[in-house]
Amino acid sequence: MKRTITAAITALMASAAIAQGPAAPPDPAASDPIALGWMQGSPPAPDKTVHWVDGSFYKFPATRWSFAHWNQLIPASDIWRGDGRVAALPRAERKDIAGISFQPANGGATMTWEQALAANYTDAIVVLHRGRIVYEKYYGAMSPQTRHIAMSVTKSFIGTLGEMLVAEGKLDPAAKVVQYIPELKDSGYAEVTVRQVMDMTTGVKFSENYADTSSEIWTYARAGGVLPRPAGYSGPQSFYEFARTVQKDPDAAAGAFRYQTVNTDVLGWLIRRVTNKTIGELLSERFWTKLGMERDAMIAVDPSGNEFAGGGLILTARDMARFGEMMRKDGKFNGQAILPKAVVDTIRKGGDKEVFARAGYAALPGWSYRDMWWVSNDDHGVFAARGVHGQTIYIDPKAQVVIARFASSPQAANAVTDPVMLPAYRAVADHLMRR
Amino acid sequence: MKRTITAAITALMASAAIAQGPAAPPDPAASDPIALGWMQGSPPAPDKTVHWVDGSFYKFPATRWSFAHWNQLIPASDIWRGDGRVAALPRAERKDIAGISFQPANGGATMTWEQALAANYTDAIVVLHRGRIVYEKYYGAMSPQTRHIAMSVTKSFIGTLGEMLVAEGKLDPAAKVVQYIPELKDSGYAEVTVRQVMDMTTGVKFSENYADTSSEIWTYARAGGVLPRPAGYSGPQSFYEFARTVQKDPDAAAGAFRYQTVNTDVLGWLIRRVTNKTIGELLSERFWTKLGMERDAMIAVDPSGNEFAGGGLILTARDMARFGEMMRKDGKFNGQAILPKAVVDTIRKGGDKEVFARAGYAALPGWSYRDMWWVSNDDHGVFAARGVHGQTIYIDPKAQVVIARFASSPQAANAVTDPVMLPAYRAVADHLMRR
């Protein structure tokens, strides 16, 4: 068992290392998981079989299959779509989008939209313009009905839920977290407010640096069952037990924005505490039963059954686009009010730009972070949900565009692909605005 | 880790022991998992939290919650319902059913239908008469949209798939298994035919006696990831790898019926091999997209991603009833032919009664086994899918009745509840025939 755990950690670290190293990434065209035979056959060949316990599920190019089959690897709970009708997304497909060309921000040569998608390991892409599908494509193991792990795009669903509860007066952003969750009184969250949790300015000690084996992310992942636990593991049994062990970081600057996934699980805990419902129940009641979703979604759970608010959502690209479209329309979808406009306004207002700038996201100049959303503060009012390996909901209100994208980039960090994909998204939006 | 594995095994053995011991079973009314607080709260209390790794998920009364949340405990793959309309089951509910009284076959006092349901830890019950819901009730953690583990009811879906492939000429029942799966040539399946697998007359050595720690069922469960693996586990990594280790039983009488779950996984393997599709894809294509199912189903997978054909299906009670209704209607549903009548005829014909009688199922006199279905050979032509802890699809063609039932009886073996539930099912069928 110890050996398989080590392998799992090595696989994850290799993935992180690629993100930081200068080595050329693998050839995207050669990484189609179906062509490569990953999990194909009856049964698949042993060397093309993905396992969770040895970490092979998280090793590129197996990830191109795993990300599209997450609940086959990790237990997950249900997000029911209800028994209502599917809200069909009208189609107005445009052949001119594929060839839209743009200049990457990294000094690379001009490329087209379709080149950018392929080169960046896209698994699924849906582009809505004024609520209609103008472009849609699936790669590798994906299809319109296939659910993909959303990684940290999940956080924006949770942040939106949180802001909805604020609007309803059920959650006070100025209150201390421990007012709702006394269990955190001896942790680094003792003095932290709800607003600080929602905006990731908590000042807790939690490093998300995969390349450092002493990072808190490792204990966190084991507590949450995201990674196998070593033999004799006696650490925290859940995300929430882990959160109780988190310390205050004496070196954290007051009010600093630091992207720490554990904060989202604390927000998830707050949401559950004030509603006495599970995250799955809430996502079903608030979004899945109301947005005419095509499929039930799922959300990964930790070994104690708590949903992984920081990154566990498993859903289809079209359903992700529906959620984005609702946000673009200030909380309305299909003529129904899903959430108050004030919630979207609060999110779109963004966080403190100075504070964000100090966090060093070179690919995101002028951006800020608010309610678990990334806010560009640009001339189009773009805001986005973002997850590692390329997952995103990109919302451009001025261009009336929503882009939902799943990917399995070998690099975890979006900093690697942002210089290509952000200009690509903008080019499509500009093009659609013009004609 | 070793301790938690031992706990898991102890929990399972305790469950099996209850099945055999004379001790009075726990009070059903006092075992409502919601009332008891199992997995209730944000988060649930530690002593009311269900874990897979320590076996607590399989300990009564936690099972009353676990059986209704199986994919939250074990990874499972998708069975897509497609994007067609739900085939609504017409409703013609009858208040007179609750009070139908009958005489249990165990010498117990006369009881009513509702008393029998409650006393036998029913989680969900749907009764169809001429295709209409005449009785429907949910208990504890269940609701119409909640999916429950079907245990060995799964086998009948797989057996039906198998017989469909026979009808299509894709699977030859007279052929040897190794003609399709050469990987089994050194196992106890070397000389076994497809028909023998389908009817569980394979003569392999595989004891399903939970109370004996040397039973093959334990290695099988660990290989398939149904139970946690001990530290340093180096045994088979999947159901199929396990199947290759199964030996011929020198003591098995020729042609003897022996209920051995591994046979269903071999049938699943055969089905995958001749179709080159997964079980989940086939169940979706053949049944879920065609029967107007209300919800996607899931099926538990082993750590290598192979579906647990022997017992992994997770579905709603109504969808289980739809499948039963299609079987009652000789393969037709909603006016559409789902499978040829010849397939149902073959199943209903049953297996060899003499052979079955020698297997010693005292509660099932005159029954036989065919294509992973239990066939009563009675005057109503009753046949049934059956899973441990009370899961069933009971089909009475003469009375035009289908009963779909989920339960979480503390006793695994249906032999314990059959003397009550089989007369109860018959009493309801007789009642509905009369008026």
Interface touch A71/B73, C-beta < 8 Å: no
- B214 as an active site residue: the answer is no
**Residue position matching structure tokens 């020729």:** B254
| Cα separation values, A334 from A74, A130, A325, A397, A403, Å | 34, 12, 10, 17, 18
Half-sphere exposure of A56 toward its Cβ, with a 13 Å CA cutoff? 15
The CA distance from A207 to A199, in Å, is 17
Half-sphere exposure of B281 toward its Cβ, with a 13 Å CA cutoff? 11
- Pick the closest to residue B204 from B160, B158, B259, B151 (CA basis): B259
Residue B346 maps to a domain: no
Return the residue of A nearest to B147 by Cα. A78
Q: A338, A406 in Cβ contact below 8 A? A: no
Q: How confident is the model at residue A24 (pLDDT cuts 50, 70, 90)?
A: low
Interface touch B39/A305, C-beta < 8 Å: yes
The CA distance from A392 to A151, in Å, is 9
Query: What letter does residue A90 receive in the DSSP assignment?
Result: P
Q: A318, A126 in Cβ contact below 8 A? A: yes
Interface touch B77/A74, C-beta < 8 Å: no
Chain A residues near residue B148 by CB distance under 8 angstroms: none
ipTM score of complex: 0.93
* pLDDT value of residue B335: 87
| Cα separation values, B376 from B129, B160, B202, B397, Å | 19, 17, 22, 12
Nearest residue, CB atoms, A49 vs list B52, B231, B304: B304
| Cα separation values, B106 from A208, B103, B360, Å | 62, 9, 17
**Residue position matching structure tokens 């709800």:** A194
Residue A25 maps to a domain: yes
Measure the CA angle with vertex A47, ends B282 and B234; round to 5°: 95
Residue B311 maps to a domain: no
Got the DSSP string for A95-155? TTSTT-EE--TTSPPPEEHHHHHHHTTEEEEEEEETTEEEEEEE-TT--TT--EE-TTHHH
Interface mutation vs chain A, best among B72, B74, B314, B316, most A CBs within 10 Å: B72
The CA distance from A417 to A387, in Å, is 12
| pLDDT reading at A10 higher than 80 | no
Nearest residue, CB atoms, A276 vs list B42, B77, B237: B42
Measured in angstroms, the CA of A41 and the nearest CA of chain B are apart by 6
Chain A residues near residue B74 by CB distance under 8 angstroms: 75
Chain B residues near residue A87 by CB distance under 8 angstroms: none
- The domain containing residue B48 runs over which residues? 2-78
The CA distance from A351 to A374, in Å, is 9
Domain count, chain A: 1
Query: What letter does residue B335 receive in the DSSP assignment?
Result: T
- SS3 of B30-97: HHCHHHHCCCCECCECHHHCCCCCCCHHHCCCCHHHHCCCHHHCCCEEEECCCCCCCCCCCECCCHHH
| pLDDT reading at A225 higher than 60 | yes
Interface touch B77/A72, C-beta < 8 Å: yes
- Whole-number mean pLDDT of chain B? 93
pLDDT tens-place string over residues B330-364: 999 988 999 999 999 999 999 999 999 999 999 99
The CA distance from B375 to B356, in Å, is 10
Interface touch B272/A43, C-beta < 8 Å: yes
The CA distance from B102 to B23, in Å, is 25
Chain B residues near residue A238 by CB distance under 8 angstroms: 43
Chain A residues near residue B298 by CB distance under 8 angstroms: 71
The CA distance from A161 to A290, in Å, is 14
Got the DSSP string for B196-249? HHHHT---B-----TT-TTSHHHHHHHHTTSSPPPTT--S-SSHHHHHHHPPB-
pLDDT tens-place string over residues B15-55: 443 444 345 667 888 999 999 999 999 999 999 999 998 88
* pLDDT value of residue A17: 39
> Residue B79 corresponds to which tokens in the numbers above?
């069975």
pLDDT tens-place string over residues B121-140: 999 999 999 999 999 999 99
The CA distance from A257 to A270, in Å, is 20
The CA distance from A261 to A200, in Å, is 9
pLDDT tens-place string over residues A172-207: 999 999 999 999 999 999 999 999 999 999 999 999
Interface touch A75/B71, C-beta < 8 Å: yes
Nearest residue, CB atoms, B75 vs list A49, A73, A306: A73
Residue A154 maps to a domain: no
Q: Which amino acid is at A123?
A: D
The CA distance from B367 to A195, in Å, is 66
Nearest residue, CB atoms, B72 vs list A76, A240, A269: A76
- Pick the closest to residue B130 from B404, B387, B401, B411 (CA basis): B401
Residue A41 maps to a domain: yes
**Residue position matching structure tokens 């990731």:** A200
* pLDDT value of residue A209: 83
* pLDDT value of residue B23: 52
* Active-site option among B15, B66, B152, B408: B152
Interface touch B294/A44, C-beta < 8 Å: no
Measured in angstroms, the CA of A387 and the nearest CA of chain B are apart by 22
Chain B residues near residue A229 by CB distance under 8 angstroms: 1
C-alpha B298 chain-centroid distance: 14
Mean pLDDT value of segment A77-91:
96
Mean pLDDT value of segment A22-39:
83
Is B147 or A233 the better-scoring residue by pLDDT?
A: B147
CB pairs under 8 A between A and B: 115
Interface touch B49/A304, C-beta < 8 Å: yes
pLDDT tens-place string over residues B198-229: 999 999 999 988 778 889 998 999 999 988 88
The CA distance from B207 to A354, in Å, is 68
Residue A16 maps to a domain: yes
Residue A54 maps to a domain: yes
pLDDT tens-place string over residues B262-291: 999 999 999 999 999 999 999 999 999 999
Residue A49 maps to a domain: yes
Return the residue of B nearest to A46 by Cα. B304
